[in-house]
Structure 1
Amino acid sequence: MVLVLEYMLVAVLVGAGLFGLSIFVFGRGEELGPLPKQASPTKLPEYGASGADVRALKFQVRLRGYDMREVDWALARLAEELDSLRAKAGEFEPARQEELETADE
């Protein structure tokens, strides 16, 4: 009976040790808070990001992959740039429609 209790105690201790190690290595599953502006080493131009700028992006590699804060920051900047370009393109759309209508006549 004592031998069974010893095995159970060792199994519990090993399990607790592995659980603690996994929390240390992989984190606790918490979401990261937003990164303060201009705190990322990832670089993009303030305005007019080009395809070459996006291709040149490099992110820090952490234990579990890329730093999520840097990737989120880069995606937010690119989304702003796309929204800006689409808004500018929308300004030219009525003029383009008028050109097409006059060309059809």
Structure 2
Amino acid sequence: MLMFWFLVIALVVVVGAVTLAVLGHGEGAALPEAPPERLTDPLPADRPVRRADIEALRFPQTLRGYRMGDVDEALARLAAELAEREARIADLESALASRPARIAEEGERP
């Protein structure tokens, strides 16, 4: 019976020691907060986005996937650039479509 109580007390001491070791020896000293991972190589702001920029774009992963702010920022930038390019393409296509008519008009004039 004495051996049983000795083992119970030893078990409680070992569990308590392990708990204190894991929690920082009971001093309340917590580990320093790690800074959240940020997008280290964002899309360039000084020039238009290129295919290589998008292929190189990697978002840091978090507990539930990716940081929503980083993804939203990249998608907004890509949407703005695509809208700008689509407008430019439409302007060029309309200028190209009107060009044969202008050439025909100029050719008819003496």
TM-score, L = length of structure 1 = 0.53
Partner of 1:49: 49
Determine the C-alpha separation between the residues in 2 that align with 1:100 and 1:62.
56
Is contact 1:42-1:70 (8 Å) kept? no
Determine the C-alpha separation between the residues in 2 that align with 1:69 and 1:78.
14
Deviation digits for residues 58-86 of structure 1, max 9, x if unmatched? 11110111111111110000001001111
Determine the C-alpha separation between the residues in 2 that align with 1:65 and 1:80.
25
In structure 2, runs of 5+ residues without a counterpart are 1-37, 105-110
Determine the C-alpha separation between the residues in 1 that align with 2:80 and 2:58.
19
**Which of the pair has more CA radius of gyration?**
2
* 2:88 equivalent to 1:97: no
RMSD of aligned Cα (Å):
2.5
Q: For residue 98 of structure 1, report the CA deviation from its aligned partner.
A: 2.0
Report which structure shows greater RCO (CA 8 Å, sep ≥6).
Answer: 1
Is contact 2:39-2:59 (8 Å) kept? no
Q: How many residues align?
A: 67
Amino acid at match of 2:42: K
* Percent of aligned pairs sharing the same letter: 38
Determine the C-alpha separation between the residues in 2 that align with 1:54 and 1:85.
16
In structure 1, runs of 5+ residues without a counterpart are 1-38
Moved more, 44-53 or 92-101: 92-101
